[in-house]
Amino acid sequence: MSSKIYEVLQWASSFFREHGKEETAAEWLLRHHLQMTRAQLFASLRDPMDEASKQTFISDVKKHALEHIPIQYLIGYEQFYGRTFIVNEHVLIPRPETEELVSHVLARTTEKALSVVDVGTGSGAIAITLSLERPTWHVYGIDIAASSLEVAARNANQLGACVHWLEGDLLQPIIDRGIQVDVVVSNPPYIPASDVPALSPVVQKEPLRALVGGEDGLLFYRRLMEQLPHVVTSQALIAFEIGHGQGQAVQTMLQQTFPSAHVDVLFDINSKERIVIADLASE
């Protein structure tokens, strides 16, 4: 006897609750498997679910609950700035906080043609969004992992963005090419190594190279300070995402590297330190 859709949804919600996962993820995953909008799902709750779809759905429920695979990796995408980005185990899953980083960069710049680099681009969410929101900009996306750049290139192709992808360590690819940029934006790895065991098992399934920033979480900011003077123009804007409690340290680094710059620490929608922006135009 076939199960009704609402019965399958109830089972998945309970299974997630029992295993310490968000119950709401059950609806999200089921909608993906049934290829339905939320309205369509609720209108179809009493319809029978075909056995093949049910079994593949159950398999994914168990992968999330028991193996801690992120829902986004199971369905293959995540939303960012109103667009759908392909994600897989090779890239960090884009977060709403990073949308705030993009918004601040857009708010502090103009439509005029600028050269922009996204350092540690991952899925390409930042670089692609900036390119689409500012078509006059010349945007570079750098990542150390070829597997990440493959995902970023697929996203750019799917979304119709023109981004120049470069493989390498932090800013080294544009230093090697003698490129100067007007905007540097980055969401680098900033979680202290000692905090990794306390992360949720689901987050630990994301690439650690995109999460861990050395012993104190500040390793990549320090390395960027050595490289930034070689690539930025005199009027440049530098914008970083940071972890909670890292604002003063990153602000100090930028102030020491660019003594005349105006450096702000900004809070996210949850009132946590999240972004540090240096404006060199005030030099």
Q: Could you tell me how many helices (H) and strands (E) the chain has, helices first? A: 11, 9
**Secondary structure element (H or E) that encloses residue 241, with its range:** strand 232-241
b (16+ CB within 10 A) / e for 33-67: bbeeeeeebeeeeeeebeeeebeebeebbebbbee
Provide the annotated binding site for substrate.
187-190
The enclosing H or E element of 137 equals none
Going by the annotation, the residues of the binding site for S-adenosyl-L-methionine are 120-124, 143, 187
| Binding site per annotation, positions | 120-124, 143, 187-190
What DSSP designation does 199 have?
S
Instruction: List CB contacts of 91: < 8 A, sequence separation 6 or more.
Output: 122, 123, 148, 151, 152, 207, 210
